[in-house]
Structure 1
Amino acid sequence: MQRAGSTENILVKSYVLLPLILSAFERDAGLISTHLRTPAPYLDMLNAAASAATGDLRDIRHEMRRLGVKVYDQQRLKTGIEAKFICRGYHDRMLLLYDMIAAQAAIHMRRYLGMDISAFKSYEEQYWIKPGAGEGEGD
C-alpha cells in the first residue's frame, strides 16, 4: 500500500477549502442583497460562481471516491483547520493554516468570478483546478 501522494493531498486540500468558499459566496450574497439598491447583477454573478464551485466540489468528491480517499474528520483549531483522512488504508492528517486558507480562498473566488489569476504562479498545481474553469468565453 502507498500513503497519500500529491494528487490525494491536493484533493483533500480542495475538499476542505471549497465549502468555505461556498459559505463566503452565500454570506456575501446576503450582504449584497440587503445593502445595494440594485443587487440582481451582483447576485447573478455570485450565484454563477457558487454553481461552478459546487460543480468542482462534486468532481472532487467523485475523484476522491475513485482514488479511495475519505476525509473523516475536520476540526477548527487556533491556527487552522485540521483534516483527518484515509488514503488507501493509511490514516493521515493535514493542517491548513488560516492565513493560507484566506489567501487561497481569495484566489479561488477570483477564478470563479471570472477574473484573471495568471499572476498567481503554479496555482493550478496546488489545487484541483480545471484549466480555464470560471473564465469567460474567448479568454
Structure 2
Amino acid sequence: MSKLDGNERWKSKMLLTEHQEQYENRREKNSRKQPTEEEFKMIRDYILLPYMLSMVQKSIEDIENHSNLLKQLYLTAGRALMNQISTDLYSLRRELSKRNIKIISDEQADMVIYHRFICRGYEDRFGMVRDVMRAEISIRLSKYIKELVGRMNADQ
C-alpha cells in the first residue's frame, strides 16, 4: 500500500492539455540533443583509437630495440597502421566537431573507464569495461591489419 492510496486527488488521471504539450516538447527537445546510435559508435571509436595508437607505437618501439631479420618489414607495417589510425582519428574528430559533440575527460572506477561527453547541450558519461575495450581493440587492429595486407596484395 502506497502513501497515495488514501488520497482522493490521485484517483483521477486527468492531465491538462497544456501540461501534456509541455511534457512532449521537453521530451522532443531532449531526444534531439541526445546522441544517436551512430554518434555513440563515433564516441566509442574516439575513445578507442588513441589507445590503439599508443599500443602500435609501443610495438614499434619494441621492434626498434630488438634485432630481427624482418625488422624493417615490421616497422614499415607498424608505421602504416599508425598512419591509418591517425587519419581515422583525425576525420572522426572533425565529424564530432561538426555534430557539436565534445568528449571531455576520463576517469576510472573499478574496471570501468568513463568519459564525459556533451552532445548539443546534453551531458552524460560513456563507460566501457576494460575487457570490452581490449576485445574491441583486438577486433579493430585485426581489421586494420587485413586492410593493410589487402593493399599490399593489390600493389603486387
TM-score bracket, normalised by the shorter chain, equals 0.7 to 0.9
Deviates more, 1:49-58 or 1:26-35: 26-35
Pairing 1:108–2:140 present? yes
Q: TM-score, normalised by structure 1?
A: 0.80
Runs of 4+ residues over 6 Å off in structure 1: none
Q: How many residues align?
A: 120
Pair member with larger Rg: 2
**Using CA pairs below 8 Å that are at least 6 residues apart, which structure has the higher relative contact order?**
1
Secondary structure of the residue aligned to 1:73 is: strand
Pairing 1:13–2:27 present? no
- How far apart are 1:59 and its partner, in Å? 0.8
Mapped contact 1:52–1:134 kept (Cα < 8 A): no
Secondary structure of the residue aligned to 1:82 is: strand
In the alignment, residue 30 of structure 1 is paired with which amino acid?
A: E
- Higher helix proportion (structure 1 or 2): 2
Q: TM-score, normalised by structure 2?
A: 0.72
Ranges in structure 1 where 5+ consecutive residues have no aligned partner: 116-132
The 5-angstrom pairing of residues 78-93 of structure 1 reads: 78-93=110-125
Percent of counterpart pairs with the same letter?
26
Secondary structure of the residue aligned to 1:72 is: strand
Secondary structure of the residue aligned to 2:65 is: helix
2:104 paired residue number: 72
